[in-house]
């Protein structure tokens, strides 16, 4: 299926990339690049052992373009400036020799897509599974992920979320050092490998979320500044130069990155984009880049007849991000909620260093369940200022919650997972808090069976000075925490290899028990209307601070569920109003089936005028239901 064959709404053809190398008929290729800094520019074409140069013509907006004959997909090319400097294409679709090598011509219509009936998933049905392609399998490729999809279907997830895949230096990186936003990583399998993975996911009913980075580019192989004012010194980010979204000549920069978002949706059939760290995206334009990007993506989804989502990562707790445009917001579909993680994590671990200083109060998790953000304008001791905005009026489906993700695991000194910090009872409690919440749940690869491998930070740079700067930066980042020990060397191959997951663990002992426990939680979430429906109106949060018990009463139509979490030692009994009719126990983390030893909760609850008593063992939860 070619782009021309893709159905579109109202007869309007889908968006197509007009930058980089575009394959035409009769062996011709059109080249187009924005390079307002250049007075003249040529494209150097390589085929076999020969090369030739084609001068490009400049227009008034600083775009250079030209058409070359006798070309074919797979041919390599570079752009040559008037001083003889040669650079890869900023909109390269493929970098087969890495970030410093030539770009490769790719025919986007060459992949025979088999997902023509795929329409995407409603946002409320997303049950996300975040994975890093390089460490998810021993091979570390897109192709190697495909055989693992059946494992994820067995678990019950509905969407995979790929950490960034844009071409980065070397073969080992989290992905946030990408230098070529349009080129899937060569060591992962390049463009065709990613398309085959997306196609396979859609055939199995899985949505694909792609993590994209629009706040900076990586420090190695980043040649965009040679072509135009893509960056600005008006703002600063912790990771590199800020993108120029609101300064002089920013219109074309905005077009470049919005085009990148549309590129993944059209050429790669991606279902959702996760925008990395939008608190590092600076724009004081009247129409914010986030709004413009989200509107463009949603409009393209409508043209394609597919549900397409835009999800943000943000530490700002700014409700404008996920508020509809007609109500004064940017109109993104959802955002990660770090507050939920921090409130849950501190109750489970007792940590109070760094940003965890702001958390640890039992009531904060109750507020997270009830409203979303914990900090909605209150004073933050860690930030030493007020932080956040009220989120109680937003639908729960606007928030993605988790007990682990790549940041919360990988940005620890040794990259240790929650399973290395707490007991199996606490792991089950964390899983239930996430999967039985009224929010969009996200799992981090391996957490469903208590993967032992850490997920430390790793890189594969070629510059010694840059490598040392990264090492020093990691040390400084951990200064606010009281963690002890040596930081794994980010550049060492052993650090990367140590992060490889071992899915065979899920068939053994406690790992198997936890895996089956996750499956049961997910099954109940999908089957019970009160757990599946993400409405704030169907949620009541009840706190018992002294007992450290938190209860959720959820209802949808005639279906009701009652969930009680105990975040403490010893046994606790609480009295809770249950209304008319009996309740049946659906799941109890303390049952022997799940490795527990304190199954105190009764199999049935009968309504009592003074309240029904429910007993819980240490660090446990119980789920009741009635219809």
d(CA 379, CA 446): 36
Specify whether the CB–CB gap between 185 and 204 falls below 8 A: no
d(CA 207, CA 595): 33
CA count, 13 A, side-chain hemisphere, 48: 3
Is 173 annotated to bind a ligand? Reply is: no
* Element containing residue 574 per DSSP (H, E): strand 572-576
Surface-to-core class of residue 12, CB atoms within 10 Å of its CB (0-12 exposed, 13-18 middle, 19+ buried): exposed
Is 274 annotated to bind a ligand? Reply is: yes
Is 489 annotated to bind a ligand? Reply is: no
Q: Looking at 211, 313, 425, 448, which residue is catalytic?
A: 313
Look at residues 276, 221, 285, 277 and name the one whose alpha carbon lies nearest to residue 253.
285
CA distances from 206 to 221, 401, 464, 501, 534 (A): 33, 19, 41, 21, 20
Is 283 annotated to bind a ligand? Reply is: no
Q: Compute the residue count for the chain.
A: 627
Q: To 10 degrees, the CA torsion angle through 511, 515, 516, 521? A: 140
Task: List all residues 6 or more positions away from 145 whose beta carbon is below 8 Å from its beta carbon.
Answer: 131, 133, 136, 137, 160, 197
Specify whether the CB–CB gap between 323 and 329 falls below 8 A: yes
Is 269 annotated to bind a ligand? Reply is: no
Q: Looking at 75, 271, 276, 560, which residue is catalytic?
A: 276
Is 277 annotated to bind a ligand? Reply is: yes
End-to-end CA distance of the chain: 47
Specify whether the CB–CB gap between 495 and 414 falls below 8 A: no
Is 342 annotated to bind a ligand? Reply is: yes
DSSP per-residue letters across 390-454: --TTS-GGGEEE-S--HHHHHTSTT---GGGTS-HHHHHHHHHHHHTSSSEEEEETTGGGT--S-
Surface-to-core class of residue 465, CB atoms within 10 Å of its CB (0-12 exposed, 13-18 middle, 19+ buried): exposed
CA distances from 104 to 24, 28, 97, 183, 493 (A): 15, 14, 9, 10, 28
- Strand (E) positions, 180-251? 180-184, 207-212, 231-236, 241-243
CA count, 13 A, side-chain hemisphere, 400: 30
489 is catalytic: no
Is 246 annotated to bind a ligand? Reply is: no
Query: What is the token pair recorded at 71?
Result: 């070309």
d(CA 442, CA 347): 19
Is 339 annotated to bind a ligand? Reply is: yes
d(CA 157, CA 151): 10
Percent of residues in the chain assigned helix, strand, coil, to nearest 5: 30, 20, 45
d(CA 539, CA 562): 10
* Element containing residue 131 per DSSP (H, E): strand 128-131
Residue 162 bridge partners (DSSP) = 131, 210
Is 278 annotated to bind a ligand? Reply is: yes
313 is catalytic: yes
Is 276 annotated to bind a ligand? Reply is: yes
Specify whether the CB–CB gap between 184 and 167 falls below 8 A: yes
Catalytic residue annotation = 276, 313
For the annotated binding site for substrate, the residues are: 274-279, 338-342, 406-411
Binding positions are 274-279, 338-342, 406-411
């Amino acid at each position: 299926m070619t782009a021309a064959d893709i159905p579109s709404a109202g007869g309007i053809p889908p968006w197509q990339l007009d930058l980089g190398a575009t394959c035409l008929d009769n062996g011709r290729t059109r080249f187009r690049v924005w390079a307002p800094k250049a007075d003249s520019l040529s494209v150097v074409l390589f085929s076999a052992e020969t090369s030739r140069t084609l001068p490009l013509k400049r227009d008034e907006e600083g775009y250079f373009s030209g058409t070359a004959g006798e070309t074919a997909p797979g041919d390599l090319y570079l752009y040559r400036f008037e001083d003889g400097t040669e650079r890869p294409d900023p909109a390269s679709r493929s970098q087969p020799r890495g970030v410093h090598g030539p770009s490769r011509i790719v025919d986007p219509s060459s992949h025979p897509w088999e997902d023509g009936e795929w329409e995407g998933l409603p946002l409320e049905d997303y049950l996300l599974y975040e994975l890093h392609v390089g460490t998810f399998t021993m091979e570390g490729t897109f192709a190697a992920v495909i055989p693992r999809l059946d494992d994820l279907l067995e678990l019950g997830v509905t969407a995979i979320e790929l950490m960034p895949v844009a071409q980065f230096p070397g073969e080992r990186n989290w992905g946030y050092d990408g230098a070529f936003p349009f080129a899937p990583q060569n060591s992962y399998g390049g463009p065709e490998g990613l398309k085959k993975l997306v196609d396979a996911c859609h055939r199995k009913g899985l949505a694909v979320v792609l993590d994209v980075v629009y706040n900076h580019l990586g420090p190695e192989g980043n040649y965009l500044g040679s072509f135009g004012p893509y960056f600005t010194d008006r703002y600063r980010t912790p990771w590199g130069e800020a993108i120029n979204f609101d300064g002089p000549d920013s219109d074309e920069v905005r077009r470049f990155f919005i085009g990148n978002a549309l590129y993944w949706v059209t050429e790669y059939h991606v279902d959702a984009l996760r925008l990395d760290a939008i608190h590092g995206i600076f724009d004081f334009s009247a129409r914010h880049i986030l709004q413009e990007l989200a509107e463009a993506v949603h409009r393209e989804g409508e043209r394609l007849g597919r549900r397409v989502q835009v999800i943000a990562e943000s530490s700002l707790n700014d409700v404008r991000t996920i508020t509809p445009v007609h109500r004064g917001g940017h109109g993104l579909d959802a955002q990660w909620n770090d507050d939920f993680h921090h409130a849950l994590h501190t109750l489970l671990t007792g940590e109070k260093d760094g940003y965890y200083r702001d958390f640890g109060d039992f009531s904060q998790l109750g507020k997270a369940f009830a409203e979303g953000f914990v900090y909605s304008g209150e004073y933050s001791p860690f930030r030493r200022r007020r932080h956040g905005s009220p989120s109680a009026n937003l639908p729960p489906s606007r928030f993605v919650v988790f007990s682990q993700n790549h940041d919360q695991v990988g940005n620890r000194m040794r990259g240790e997972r929650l399973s290395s910090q707490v007991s199996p009872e606490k792991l089950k409690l964390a899983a239930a808090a996430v999967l039985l919440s009224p929010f969009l749940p996200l799992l981090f690869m391996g957490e469903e069976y208590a993967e032992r491998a850490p997920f430390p930070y790793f890189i594969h740079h070629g510059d010694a000075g840059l490598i040392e700067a990264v090492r020093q930066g990691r040390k400084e980042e951990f200064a606010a925490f009281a963690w002890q020990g040596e930081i794994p060397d980010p550049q060492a191959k052993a650090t990367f290899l140590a992060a490889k997951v071992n899915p065979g663990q899920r068939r053994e002992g406690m790992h198997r028990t936890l895996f089956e426990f996750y499956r049961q939680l997910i099954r109940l979430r999908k089957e019970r209307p009160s757990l599946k429906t993400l409405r704030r109106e169907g949620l009541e949060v009840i706190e018992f601070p002294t007992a450290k018990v938190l209860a959720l009463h959820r209802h949808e139509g005639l279906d009701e569920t009652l969930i009680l979490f105990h975040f403490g030692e010893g046994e606790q009994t609480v009295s809770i109003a249950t209304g008319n009719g009996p309740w049946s126990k659906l799941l109890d983390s303390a049952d022997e089936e799940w490795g527990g030893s304190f199954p105190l909760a009764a199999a049935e609850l009968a309504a009592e005028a003074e309240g029904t008593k429910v007993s819980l063992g240490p660090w446990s939860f119980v789920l009741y239901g009635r219809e």
